[in-house]
Homo-oligomer: A and B are copies of this chain.
Amino acid sequence: MVQRMQQMARPRGRPREFDVDQALDKAIKVFREQGYNATSIEDLTGAMGLASGSIYKAFKDKRAVFLAALDRYMRLRNDQIALIAGTRGTARERLRAVLGFYVDSAKGIEGRRGCMVVGSAVELAIVDREVATRVGATLARNEAFLADLIRQGQADGSISGRIDPDDTARVMVCLTQGLRVVGKSGRAPADTAAAVDIAMRLLA
């Protein structure tokens, strides 16, 4: 049984010397800053600490590296937001925490580095169907997530029942994506609490 698991863990030839996820994290950093087209294989080898041959052993081509990085980026970000929204309190308080996370992500160096979803949407959505699909799915998921949070707030009494959860969530998604655009130019709101207070006005 243990031997079977070891066999499954070590497939055949020479084992990979680097951790794929760690390498993807480096790739994510580069793609967030420069986007897809401006990032050369040389940029990736430098950031990931690998030779070009090794990259092409692990990934079909540059686009596959990007898609893997995008998937990982979206997953990590989703996990973070789910964690923040999982804290105690009314749905309104949890929604406030989520919005605060978005505002903070848009500030300073992190904001300048940018968002891979926004970058993918702007640079590639029109020419790469697979990227467009993923971006659309993430935006839809974020929208549904926020709408659900709003509905929870309407159920626990912390959010007005007069607003439409879906329409409001959709506008809120625009706000969060816009924060990342503005963050790229270093003009994101400096005062997180103040910005979140204003954003919370969308809830009636």
A186: min CB distance to chain B, Å: 7
CA distance in complex: A126, B110 (Å):
12
Chain B's closest residue to A119 (CB) is B122
Q: Are B139 and A126 neighbours in the complex by a CB distance under 8 Å?
A: no
User: Within 8 Å CB of A202, what residues of B?
Assistant: 198-199, 201-202
As a 0/1 sequence over residues 112 to 139 of chain A, the CB contacts with chain B under 8 angstroms (1 = contact) are 1110001101110111000010011001
List 20 additional contacts besides A33-B127, A177-B181, A180-B181; criterion CB under 8 Å.
A35-B37, A37-B123, A38-B123, A121-B184, A122-B181, A126-B184, A135-B185, A136-B185, A139-B182, A139-B185, A139-B187, A164-B198, A167-B194, A171-B175, A171-B189, A171-B195, A173-B182, A174-B179, A201-B202, A202-B202
